[in-house]
């Protein structure tokens, strides 16, 4: 046990904190709407992020309830640094005992952009040295580095010479909901799946078919949304290791959110041609507490029928990342498009794919297009309305 130095009675105790909420590229519109729903105002839009002021209660609520946000950072310091020595010097000026105890462990996540700093690991090492050296000088002891499960996670962001240091309130990324411990090849992130649902405008009341469910992420995120279940109820957060962690406040918010969970009033169906995928999806849904709220069916989409006359179909078809698969993808997407046109008239269709040439082979004209990334793969989320007959005739009829 380390000695208790009575530290960190500082800015993390302030009611108003300057925060940065990070999201995925392409999900900024829905992330902004989510933050507004949490009472956040006067946001400053950044690259895949928003800066704003919030209090401790809002910080807890965003971490528990946000669906399209990856993490929430609390700003510690910002300054200019022109080289590694300057970075070390400026980082040394931060009073780190306000945020970190000598008995605690920490890790530094670094992102660097520009010509001055090219290596994120080296930049993180200089900040680590500044923190460790400061504690050694003051207490003749130092906090340990733990990259796997640190008590305090520090975020370092450098753009050219602009440096921002923050404390990560979320800990592990918020897309790690805790239910998906199994997955198949190239799964969609939980955050991206939720963002796709929010971009579509699906309100949780229309029937929904996840037509190629894979590990079940889209269907599970849909069930979380339809039941008003906060996605991060079953996971820990970084702020729970802070000295100012208000457990009573957190418990009150958590109880309120649990009491707000409602019954799902529509059908959510998850289908896949692969029985192993269905088994994985069911186990993931069980961990999320939603296995009884989703209907799982082994069924090839090309032999699949609608679950309602009007509803939503979401689809994450294979991208064909291996060469032998890529050659087959245009024909496969063409078959999917023909089946959609003949069997799914009246449906709102939303497709995500990283195979952009094959996506065109659906033969459908999208009403909505969103550029996103599934991991490192550039993708499109396209929204379609499946009309009977010619599209132009339907548009003229609706005019």
> What value does the mean pLDDT take over residues 80-92?
95
pLDDT value, residue 115: 86
Identify which of 253, 375, 266 has the alpha carbon closest to the alpha carbon of residue 311: 266
- The phi-psi region of residue 165 (left if phi > 0; otherwise alpha if psi is between -120 and 50; otherwise beta) is beta
- Sign of torsion, CA 62 63 67 72? positive
Q: What's the token pair of residue 214?
A: 């894979």
pLDDT value, residue 243: 83
Strands 312-315 and 295-298: unpaired
What one-character DSSP code corresponds to residue 189? P
Are residues 129 and 37 in contact, defined by beta-carbon separation less than 8 angstroms? no
pLDDT value, residue 389: 60
- The three-state secondary structure class of 303 is helix
Are residues 73 and 18 in contact, defined by beta-carbon separation less than 8 angstroms? no
pTM confidence score: 0.90
Asked if the model's pLDDT at residue 393 lies above 70, the reply is: no
pLDDT tens track for 105-131? 999 999 999 888 989 999 999 999 999
pLDDT tens track for 203-253? 999 999 999 999 999 999 999 999 999 999 999 999 998 888 999 999 999
pLDDT value, residue 321: 67
What one-character DSSP code corresponds to residue 2? -
First-to-last alpha carbon distance for the chain, in angstroms, is 73
pLDDT value, residue 324: 54
The residue that leads in pLDDT, 4 or 269, is 269
pLDDT tens track for 59-73? 999 999 999 999 999
Domains (ranges, CATH) in the chain? 11-168 (3.30.2130.30), 190-227+262-398 (3.40.50.150)
Quote the CA–CA distance of 195 and 175 in Å, as a whole number.
Answer: 11
Asked if the model's pLDDT at residue 394 lies above 90, the reply is: no
145 — pLDDT class (breaks 50, 70, 90): very high
């Amino acid at each position: 046990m380390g000695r208790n130095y009575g530290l960190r009675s500082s800015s993390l105790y302030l009611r108003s904190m300057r925060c940065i909420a990070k999201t995925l590229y392409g999900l900024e519109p829905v992330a902004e709407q989510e933050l507004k729903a949490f009472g956040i105002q006067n946001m400053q839009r950044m690259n895949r992020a928003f800066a704003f002021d919030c209090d401790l209660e809002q910080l807890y609520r965003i971490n528990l309830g946000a669906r399209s946000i990856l993490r929430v950072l609390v700003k510690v310091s910002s300054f200019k640094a022109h080289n590694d020595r300057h970075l070390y010097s400026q980082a040394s000026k931060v009073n780190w005992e306000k945020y970190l105890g000598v008995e605690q462990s920490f890790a530094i996540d670094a992102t660097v952009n520009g010509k001055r700093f090219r290596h994120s690991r080296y930049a993180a090492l200089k900040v680590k040295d500044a923190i460790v050296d400061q504690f050694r000088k003051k207490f003749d002891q130092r906090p340990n580095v733990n990259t796997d499960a640190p008590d305090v996670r520090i975020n370092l962001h450098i753009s050219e010479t602009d440096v921002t240091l923050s404390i990560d309130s979320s800990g592990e990324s918020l897309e790690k909901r805790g239910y998906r411990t199994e997955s198949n090849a190239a799964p969609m992130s939980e955050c991206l799946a939720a963002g796709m649902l929010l971009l579509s405008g699906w309100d949780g009341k229309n029937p929904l078919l996840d037509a190629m469910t894979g590990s079940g992420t889209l269907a599970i995120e849909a069930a979380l949304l339809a039941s008003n279940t906060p996605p991060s109820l079953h996971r820990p957060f970084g702020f729970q290791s802070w000295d100012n962690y208000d457990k009573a406040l957190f418990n009150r918010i958590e109880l309120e959110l649990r009491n707000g969970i409602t019954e799902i009033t529509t059908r959510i169906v998850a289908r896949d041609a692969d029985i192993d995928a269905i088994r994985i999806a069911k186990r993931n849904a069980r961990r999320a507490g939603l296995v009884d709220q989703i209907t799982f069916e082994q069924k090839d989409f090309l032999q699949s029928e609608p679950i309602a006359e009007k509803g939503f179909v979401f689809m994450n078809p294979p991208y064909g990342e291996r060469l032998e698969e890529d050659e087959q993808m245009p024909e496969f997407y063409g078959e999917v498009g023909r089946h959609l046109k003949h069997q799914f008239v009246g449906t709102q269709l939303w497709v995500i794919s990283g195979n952009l040439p094959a996506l065109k082979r659906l033969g459908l004209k999208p009403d909505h297009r969103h550029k996103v990334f599934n991991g490192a793969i550039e993708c499109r989320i396209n929204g379609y309305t499946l009309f009977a007959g010619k599209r132009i005739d339907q548009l003229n009829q609706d005019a």
